[in-house]
Structure 1
Amino acid sequence: MRVPSTAHTGRPWRIHDLTRDFRVQDVWSFRTPGAGPDDFPLMLAALRAIDGPAGQSLPVRLLFWARWKLGDLLGWDRPATGIGTRTASLRDRLPGDLRSAPVEPLGSDGFTSVYLLGDEAARESANKTVHSIMHLGWVPAGDGEYELRMAVVVKPNGLLGRLYMAAITPFARLIVYPALTRRWEAAWRDRAHLLTLQP
């Protein structure tokens, strides 16, 4: 479910000090019935268990296929446009205590880990159009339970980036994020089964 930006900006996340020149694009909440305050690592493990495009719905797979084809054609995703080349990593901004924090294993979603804490994690991706941060936070949901929140925080690269974000946002909000919500909430419900399949 999409929630107001204040659901992210109103919490004392460490990411805020690192992204003052970024803007919040979207914030989504994911129901995790029965989750407690210490279950964030379990949720992340369940998400890693479903990592990859295979389980995505057909509309989402088609959208990503079209995006990657367009990116190939226009050179948006060349290595020279990514993290550590055109775009400095957010890790370069980390204070000392976060530099020593663990990072998540590399996934197949195009994002690399910035830091991982007990109740929040940040991942980043960049190309010719935009530098994107996916922030995951673990928050109280009432009645002693907790839920996952995802904030997408972006820094568009000039006019191209602003046009790109304007073009993709309706598809993200209407198709991609609702599908992601169903998939991530199912991962929590199926976590016991998923984690038994992990090597």
Structure 2
Amino acid sequence: MRLPRTAHTSRSWRIHEIANDFRVDDVWALPTPGGPDDLARLVRQFTNGDPAQASHLSSPVPRMLFATRWKLGKLLGWDKPGVGVGTRVPTLRDRLPADLRDGPRGPDFRAVPFTSIYQTHDEWAAEMANRTVHAVMHIGWVPDGAGGYRGQMAVLVKPNGPLGVVYMAAIKPFRYAGVYPAMLRAIGRKWQADNDEKSPA
């Protein structure tokens, strides 16, 4: 379920200290009900998956959208070496206060170009950059209002000039119609499947 930006901005997340020049683009409630200490499990689910095998990419629309995006990126040089984190833009890890810098960094993704910035008990942030944008995926672990907890995902962006602004505007309808709904369903199915495996027969 899509949430208002205030669902992210009203919370005292540490990400506000290091990414206050980024725009909050989207906030989503994740279908991942759990207990107070389950963020680390959700992070593992995110980072251990292989996007090529992900269930949301088995649907025709997201598969077509991702294929088109990668082809355009290759044709226009959006993703070539030298335009990512550490080259075109410095990593946000350079902005971390000492306690976050010395704490857990969190795992990197196995098969997508996001790298972890930091992880705490209730927050995890990862970043990526290309020629169009510098983006942060922030996963928080929040009370669900019914005595439990769930994940909450925010996407923060800093477009790279006019190209980035046009690019973000152009892909917005496709993300809302095809990518996010399928991705959230896939996250929920995987979370529930892991719950079922852990439940006694």
Aligned to 1:45: 44
Tell me the residue number matched to 1:161: 164
> Structure 2 CA distance, aligned partners of 1:189 and 1:114?
27
Residue number in structure 2 paired with 1:15: 15
Q: Residues 24 and 113 of structure 1: is their aligned pair in 2 closer, same or farther, counting only changes over 3 Å?
A: same
Q: Aligned pairs, how many?
A: 194
Identity of aligned residues (%): 52
Instruction: Measure, in 2, the Cα distance between the counterparts of 1:39 and 1:27.
Output: 19
**After superposition, what is the alpha-carbon deviation per residue over 1:133-187, rounded to whole angstroms, capped at 9, x for unaligned?**
0000000002211111000000001100000000011111111111111011112
Structure 2: any 5+ residue segments left out of the alignment?
none
Q: Hey, what's the Cα distance between the residues in 1 that align with 2:128 and 2:52?
A: 17
If the length of structure 1 is used for normalisation, what is the TM-score?
0.92
Who is 2:149 aligned against? 146
Which residue matches 1:126?
Answer: 129
Q: Provide the TM-score with structure 2 as the length reference.
A: 0.91
Report the CA distance between 1:50 and its aligned residue: 3.3
Unaligned runs of at least 5 residues, structure 1 = none
CA contact (8 A) 1:30 1:148 kept: yes
Deviating more after overlay: 36-45 vs 139-148: 36-45
Quick one: distance in 1 between partners of 2:114 and 2:47? 13
Matches within 5 A, 1:16-165: 16-33=16-33, 35-55=34-54, 56=57, 57-107=59-109, 108-165=111-168
Distance 1:47 1:83 in 2: 20
**CA RMSD, Structure 1 to Structure 2 (Å):** 1.5
Aligned to 2:176: 173
Structure 1: how far apart are the matches of 2:168 and 2:117? Answer: 22
Distance 1:189 1:113 in 2: 25
In the TM superposition, residue 193 of structure 1 has moved relative to its aligned partner by 6.1
- Large movers: runs of 4+ above 6 Å: none
SS at match of 2:107: coil
Q: Does the aligned pair in 2 maintain the 1:3–1:27 contact within 8 Å?
A: yes
Which range moved further: 59-68 or 131-140?
A: 59-68
* Aligned residues of 1:46 and 1:194 also touching (Cα < 8 A): no
User: Does the CA contact (< 8 Å) of 2:43 and 2:124 recur in 1?
Assistant: no
Deviations 1:87-124 (A, max 9, x none): 11101100111111212322112210001111110000
Taking the aligned partners of 1:48 and 1:191, their CA distance within structure 2 comes to: 15
